[in-house]
């Protein structure tokens, strides 16, 4: 049996807890240490609300669940955590705060061989990996890696499936996103006018970095894409609304939807389709990155059609762990090829 990949996790918010939940259900991972600024008792309480069938206990700053034993540390910055002391092979930074190469390098200086960022980076890093889109480009020498974001992976997967069959003239994406923990419940003066408004009672238009990164990773649609996000007052389940203009006419929406039905057969861990009249709360617990709503797909002219799809953060948490597994495999294949970081 292959030895479990020992992971250090920084940030124990919603995504962090979902990563822990998925690791419990797998024999591939061991979360050896978690760093967060929250009180350990409260972190354990919130975790138990996430886990369902599993329940954890807190004993002397360790989370205990079955044979899993994870040290809890209170730390605010990557410079503060001695990952090598805990034997962590890899660090997942799920704080959402540290997104640049310079901010993430201290993880490496403190003993981690690789850092996987749970969101999109700011500036250049070694690689952004979107599962099912460009994971074949990953190299063992990548040490600071992003697993993208839920909406980025969903958008890229959808456009790749379409673009592999039909030349795309233009695509417009709208990410209709459940509100996030960095939004305030009441109006509160922040750095941005719209995001200063209450996330609990407003639909808030927002820019999305997914627009830039999808075009970087998929050069065939570079300059052919526009998009934005809407943060909406729902807690679980996000929707992707894509309008695609093709270079040649199409008169049959089933020719488009069949592409996704076939893709779901080929990549069942990433893609699913449904003919049910689902709503956002029905997506809770989905681990796919793209759940195509076949009832929501329609033609919009001779060359244009609309695609609706759903996703949930649990799917993104799973993509993060899959990215960790991908790089572990590369380490095994190319022993000693992980580069030094200055």
Residue tagged 């673009």 (tokens): 163
Beta pairing class for 238-246 and 271-274 = unpaired
- Determine the Cα–Cα distance for residues 216 and 1; give it in Å rounded to an integer: 39
Q: Where in the chain is the domain with CATH 3.40.50.720?
A: 5-148+317-333
Beta pairing class for 144-146 and 114-117 = parallel
- Determine the Cα–Cα distance for residues 45 and 228; give it in Å rounded to an integer: 35
Residue tagged 């540290």 (tokens): 98
Residue tagged 């989905």 (tokens): 286
Please say if the pLDDT value at position 335 is more than 80.
no
Task: For residue 225, give both structure tokens.
Answer: 């894409």
β partners of residue 65: 68
5-148+317-333, which class in CATH? Answer: alpha beta
Task: For residue 142, give both structure tokens.
Answer: 């990548």
pLDDT at 342: 59
Whether pTM > 0.95 for this model: the answer is: no
**Residue 105 in contact with residue 113, Cβ under 8 Å?**
no
Architecture of domain 150-311: 2-Layer Sandwich (3.30)
Please say if the pLDDT value at position 285 is more than 70.
yes
Please say if the pLDDT value at position 325 is more than 60.
yes
Give per-residue pLDDT as tens, 122-136.
999 999 999 999 999
Q: Where in the chain is the domain with CATH 3.30.360.10?
A: 150-311
Q: In angstroms, how far is CA 5 from the centroid of its own chain?
A: 19
- Determine the Cα–Cα distance for residues 255 and 268; give it in Å rounded to an integer: 20
Min mean pLDDT across 61-65, 98-102, 331-335 is at: 331-335
Distances (CA, A) of 38 to 25, 94, 216: 24, 14, 36
Task: Count Cα neighbours of 197 within 13 Å in the Cβ-side half-sphere.
Answer: 12
Average pLDDT (233-258) is 93
Q: At what angle do helices 14-24 and 40-51 cross, to 10 degrees?
A: 60
Q: Over the chain, what is the mean pLDDT? A: 92
Tell me the percentage of the chain whose pLDDT exceeds 70: 96
Average pLDDT (50-79) is 88
Residue tagged 């460009």 (tokens): 134
- Determine the Cα–Cα distance for residues 326 and 323; give it in Å rounded to an integer: 5
β partners of residue 264: none
Give per-residue pLDDT as tens, 25-36.
898 999 999 999
Please say if the pLDDT value at position 340 is more than 60.
no
R_g over Cα of the chain: 20
Please say if the pLDDT value at position 288 is more than 90.
yes
Task: Assign 3-class secondary structure to the chain.
Answer: CCCCEEEEEECCCHHHHHHHHHHHCCCCEEEEEEECCCCHHHHHHHHHHHHCCCCCEEECCEEEECCEEEEEECCCCHHHCCHHHHCCCEEEECCCCCCCHHHHHHHHHCCCCEEEECCCCCCCCCEECCCCCCHHHCCCCCCEEECCCHHHHHHHHHHHHHHCCCCEEEEEEEEEEECCCCCCCCCCCCCCCHHHCCCCCCCEEECCCHHHHHHHHCHHHCCCEEEEEEEECCCCCEEEEEEEEECCCCCCHHHHHHHHHHHHHHCCCCEEEECCCCCHHHHCCCCCCEEEEHHHCEECCCCEEEEEEEECHHHHHHHHHHHHHHHHHHHHHCCCCCCCCC
Residue 204: pLDDT band with limits 50, 70, 90: very high
**Residue 134 in contact with residue 217, Cβ under 8 Å?**
yes
Distances (CA, A) of 275 to 267, 287, 338: 18, 18, 45
């Amino acid at each position: 049996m292959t030895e479990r990949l020992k992971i250090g996790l920084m940030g124990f918010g919603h995504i962090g807890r979902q990563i822990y939940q998925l690791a419990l259900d797998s024999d591939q991972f061991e979360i050896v240490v978690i760093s967060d600024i929250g009180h350990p008792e409260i972190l354990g309480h919130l975790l138990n609300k996430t886990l369902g069938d599993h329940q954890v206990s807190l004993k002397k700053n360790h989370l205990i669940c079955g044979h899993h034993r994870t040290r809890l540390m209170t730390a605010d910055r990557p410079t503060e955590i001695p990952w090598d002391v805990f034997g962590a092979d890899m660090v997942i930074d799920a704080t959402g705060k540290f997104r640049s190469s310079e901010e993430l390098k201290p993880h490496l200086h403190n003993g981690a061989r690789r850092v996987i960022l749970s969101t999109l980076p700011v500036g250049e890093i070694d690689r952004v990996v979107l599962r099912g889109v460009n994971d074949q480009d990953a190299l063992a020498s990548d040490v600071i890696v992003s697993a993208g974001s839920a909406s980025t992976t969903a958008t890229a997967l959808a456009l790749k499936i379409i673009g592999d069959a039909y030349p795309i003239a233009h695509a417009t994406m709208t990410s209709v996103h459940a509100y996030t923990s960095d939004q305030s419940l009441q109006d509160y003066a922040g750095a941005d006018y719209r995001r200063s408004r209450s996330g609990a009672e407003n639909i808030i238009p927002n820019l999305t970095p997914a627009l830039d990164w999808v075009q970087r990773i998929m050069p065939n649609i570079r300059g052919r894409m526009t998009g934005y996000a809407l943060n909406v007052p729902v807690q679980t389940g996000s929707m992707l609304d894509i309008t695609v203009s093709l270079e040649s006419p199409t008169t049959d929406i089933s020719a488009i939807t069949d592409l996704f039905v076939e893709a779901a057969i080929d990549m069942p861990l990433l893609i699913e389709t449904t003919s049910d009249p689902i709503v956002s709360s029905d997506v809770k617990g989905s681990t796919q990155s793209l759940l195509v709503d076949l009832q929501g797909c329609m033609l919009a002219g001779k060359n244009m059609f609309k695609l609706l799809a759903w996703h949930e953060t649990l799917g993104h948490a799973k993509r993060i762990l899959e990215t960790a597994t991908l790089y572990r495999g590369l380490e095994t294949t190319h022993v000693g090829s992980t580069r030094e970081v200055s």
